[in-house]
Each structure stands twice: as C-alpha cells, then as structure tokens.
Structure 1
Amino acid sequence: MSYVKPVDLVTAMIDAGRSKVFLSTRETLVRAFMGGAILALAAAFAVTVSVRTENPLAGAILFPVGFILLYLMGFDLLTGVFTLVPLAWLAREPGVNWPRMLRNWGLVFVGNFAGAFLVAVLMAIYFTYGFSSEPDAVGQAIGTIGEGRTIGYAQHGAAGMLTLFVRGVLCNWMVSTGVAAAMISKNVIGKAVTMWMPIMLFFFMGFEHSIVNMFLFPSGLMLGGNFTIADYLVWNEIPTVAGNLVGGFAFVGLTLYLSHGRRTDPEPVAAGEAGRDAALVH
C-alpha cells in the first residue's frame, strides 16, 4: 500500500527528526543551503508568473514545484525542522536534547539564508542586466512586496506585529502539513500531490514564510525597495521565524504526536479469561 497510516506517519516523523539532529555540520549546511536556494528560485518563478499573467493564483499553483523538488531530494528548510526535530525530543529519542536541537535549527537557518541570499543576488542581476538598468516589472514587484510586508506592518504598530506573527503561525501550519504529507505516501506522485495542496494555500494567502522572505527581502533591497535591513529583521524575519516555530510545532508536530504517537498497548488478557472468551465464541 502506498498510504502510510497516521500512527506510522508519526513514527516516520520522529525518525526523521532524530536523524537530522545527528547529521554532521557539513551535511546539515549543504542540505539547508540547497533547500533555501531551490525554494528561492520557486518564489522568483511564482512572482514572475503572477506579474506577467496578472493572475496571482497562477503563481500560487506553480510555486509548490520548488518545495516538492527540494523535499524529494532530501534537502531541508527551517520550517520543516521546527516540526520534525522537537518530535524526536518529545519521544525521548536517545541523544536528542535541547543543545543538539538548537544547533540543528541554527545551522539550518544559516544554510537556508545563504542559499536564498545567493539566489537573491543572482535574480537581482537577472532583473537589472547586471545592475546596469532599472529593474523590470517583476523586479519592481519584488521591491514592492518588501515594502508592504515590513513598513506596511510597522504602520499598524502592535497590531501589525501581531498580524505578522499570526501569518507566520498560519504559514508553517500549512507548510509543515506539507512536510508531514510527504511521508503519507510511498510513491512520488502521491508525495507531490499531498505536498502541493497546503503549499499552494499558504502562498496564495500571503502567509509569512521565513525562508521565502530570506529571498524576497534581500532582493527587494537590491531592486530599490524603500525599506531598511532593520525593517526587514524587526518587522518581518524575526517575528516570522517565531510564528513559523509555533505554527509548525504546535499545530502539526504536537497534534499528530498527541493523537497518534502516544500509544498504550492493551492490557494482557489472563489465560483463564481467554479460555472463557473462547468457549463463549464457540
């Protein structure tokens, strides 16, 4: 059967979280670098499609191609390890502790940012002919996204910060659902379809994804966006990371673990009782 039952799904998620904790520094950074880079390319692709077709839904439908590819190839995103690694800790897997978990998160953050930033530089060159001309329509749109999702939140003060955090929570609720969904099927088509659904939803709804933003905002700064690095960090990246952590762990990892991961074996039936039950059946 290609379908993995929820009980077995949780076991697979715990195993995945444990394995990520014990990866070497090099393996963790390379996987995270490629994950950030591929997702950034997908974001650039989706924005390009949305602008050129004037249809945001088309971009949202196509954006999941990057997410699907990077997970099929075994690369990592911070949003995913926020969900998987704590499950291994909850399950009390040997050697999985807070220092190792924080190490994993830190390395994945650095790797994701490096990959996304590299693509941001390359795409800025692409949109401006090597910074020799004004950005095209797509480049201008990316700059506008950066302004609206930093200064736009700041204009609302505490309410804007709350909204930003909630969008981060909702984002990783969906993204981590996609991460878990990838383990529900044992074939490529099944994995792709189940990942595609929640990822399309998050992108079209404009939720805040910390790794996508690692591409959009540095790109926006290079393409003339009217905001600062401090705006990006305070009014987007840091609250988004916090929201992504809460959304992925609380609404995906923890709920699956509590509902399917804490099994208790049935009480053994005494030999005499078993004999009486058998006699009644016959």
Structure 2
Amino acid sequence: MAFSKPEKIMEITVENGGKKTKYAPLQTMILGFEAGAFIALGYLLFIRVTAPLPVELQGLSSLIGASVFPIGLILTLLAGGELLTGNMMAVPLARFAKKVTTRQVALNWTLVTLSNFVGAVFVAYFFGHLTGLTETGPYMNQTIQIAQHKLEASFLQAFLSGIGCNWLVAAAVWLSYGAEDMAGKILGIWFPTMTFVAIGFQHVVANMFVIPAAIFAGQFSWIEYLHNFVPVFLGNAVGGVVFIAMAYYHSYKQKEDHLKGKAIVQPIMKSGSRY
C-alpha cells in the first residue's frame, strides 16, 4: 500500500482544506448532512452491537463497539461528506498556509456544524425514535447510559475529552489523505477512530446523535445537550487546530529561502567613473 510522506500529506491537506471553502453553500450543506448521518449510523451500529452483550462480555463491549464505529468516518471520507471535526483540521491548515481567509474558515465551520446536526438528528429521530432502534429493550438502556455519561462530565472534562477525540480523528483524516489506495485509507481511518471510541473521548458530531436519541426517548433536555455541546465543540476545535494542523504546519512547512528571487544589485557606473 503506497503512502505519502508527511510533507506531502501537508500539501494535500492544504489543497483539500482550500477546496472545502470553495464549495457552494448548498453543496456544503448536502455533504454535511451526509457526514452527520454517516457518523450517526456508525454510532447506531455501536449501540446495536454492544447493547445485547451478556454481562460476562461487558468488559469487551467498548472494544467491540469501537471496532465497528469507524464505518461512519470511512463513509464520510471515501464516499463523500463534510465532517466538522475533519474540517477543524484541514480548513485551518489551509488558513495557516494563507490559502483561505479567517472568514471562510468561520463560514465553513458554521455551515458544516448545522448540516452535521441535521443529518445526525435525522438518524436519531427517524431510525432511533420512529423505527425504535434506540428505544426498545437493552438498546434504550444503552443509549440513555451513554448520553448520561456524556452529560455528567464537567465543562473541563468535556473540553479535555474533546481535545483527545479530535487529536485522533484529525490524525485519521491526515492518514487517509496520505494513503494512495482505498485499503490504505480505510486502515488509516480505522485505528485512530477505534482508539478514540474505545477510550471514551467525546466527539461533537457523534454526540449530535446519541444525546438527541436519548432526548427523543423522554430523557434529558435540549438545554442539557447545549451545556455538553459547547465544551466538546471547543475541545474538538483545539484538538484539530492546535495538535494536528498547527503542529504539522510548523513542522513540515517549506522553509523560506531568503535568497530566492532576490535580485543581485550591481553598482551603476557612470560614464567615465574610475576605481
């Protein structure tokens, strides 16, 4: 499986980050909806796989669930989608390289946040609530327990958890850009994503599914969800911007050659001058 060196991955990521800001708003919203739904479906799969496990296998439930969750990010990156956590790395990297403006970064994040939320809540309501996939038997208990655990975290805990999450998710996106074939991209995405899920870090888009799913089941409130959304969003932003985009930009950017393009100025001799 062929792959690119980090210096080349940075160039690819800068290019991709710039392209993301050039999409028409409707295109961004459609792709954002797809990504939000894909992540939600990955989380729904997590719940459906882990909830029925017998008590003696509960210790393995996190690992088992984490091993299937990455399907959401794989679909987003390979089939097509605009995911907030990935854009929190790629678009700022293009900004550091002066390919886009701060306004373009802010607009992209806003459109993708809104469309990711709509996609995730769509899955939570229509598949989780109306179809009953998160509101029957052990599945409902699992959904509520997961949401409760996330909502019980303090602001600082949720913020730090968000940093850890997007440090890994942004790394997964970085690796996928560096792989040159589909198998390599899947492997690059799979393991960092599986790691953040198994650890239990908080992902702002994944939470857009599981907490509303619990709300639709009659638990918790939208105000409680908002109290979780803010620190996780901020933590994910720091994880993507600082720990991947900024770190790798300053590590792998091309060093400026101060002599490149610098004209060599020769003294102008006047006619008849003597030295």
Please, what TM-score do these two structures have when normalized by structure 1? 0.86
The answer to whether the aligner puts 1:257 opposite 2:249 as a matched pair is: yes
In structure 1, the partner of 2:82 is 76
For 1:49, give the aligned amino acid. Answer: V
Where do 5+ consecutive residues of structure 2 fail to align? 261-275
For 2:157, give the aligned amino acid. Answer: T
CA contact (8 A) 1:63 1:200 kept: yes
In structure 2, the partner of 1:125 is 130
How many angstroms does 1:89 deviate by? 1.1
CA change 1:199–1:128 in 2 (3 A) is closer
The answer to whether the aligner puts 1:26 opposite 2:26 as a matched pair is: yes
CA contact (8 A) 1:50 1:57 kept: no
- Equivalent runs, 1:95-134 vs 2, <5 Å: 96-122=100-126, 123-127=128-132
In structure 2, the partner of 1:91 is 97
The answer to whether the aligner puts 1:233 opposite 2:226 as a matched pair is: yes
In structure 1, the partner of 2:35 is 35
How many angstroms does 1:267 deviate by? 6.6
CA contact (8 A) 1:208 1:240 kept: yes
In structure 1, the partner of 2:164 is 170
Provide the C-alpha distance between the structure 1 equivalents of 2:18 and 2:133, rounded to a whole number of angstroms. Answer: 44
CA contact (8 A) 1:127 1:136 kept: no
Deviations 1:49-105 (A, max 9, x none): 111234221110111122112110121110011111111111111xx2121111110
User: Percent identity over the alignment?
Assistant: 32
SS in 2 for 1:127: coil
How many angstroms does 1:265 deviate by? 4.7
For 2:253, give the aligned amino acid. Answer: G
Provide the C-alpha distance between the structure 2 equivalents of 1:45 and 1:78, rounded to a whole number of angstroms. Answer: 21
In structure 2, the partner of 1:273 is none
Please, what TM-score do these two structures have when normalized by structure 2? 0.88
Q: Kindly report structure 1 stretches of 4+ aligned residues shifted beyond 6 Å.
A: none
Provide the C-alpha distance between the structure 2 equivalents of 1:3 and 1:128, rounded to a whole number of angstroms. Answer: 39
CA contact (8 A) 1:185 1:191 kept: yes
For 2:97, give the aligned amino acid. Answer: A
In structure 1, the partner of 2:173 is 179
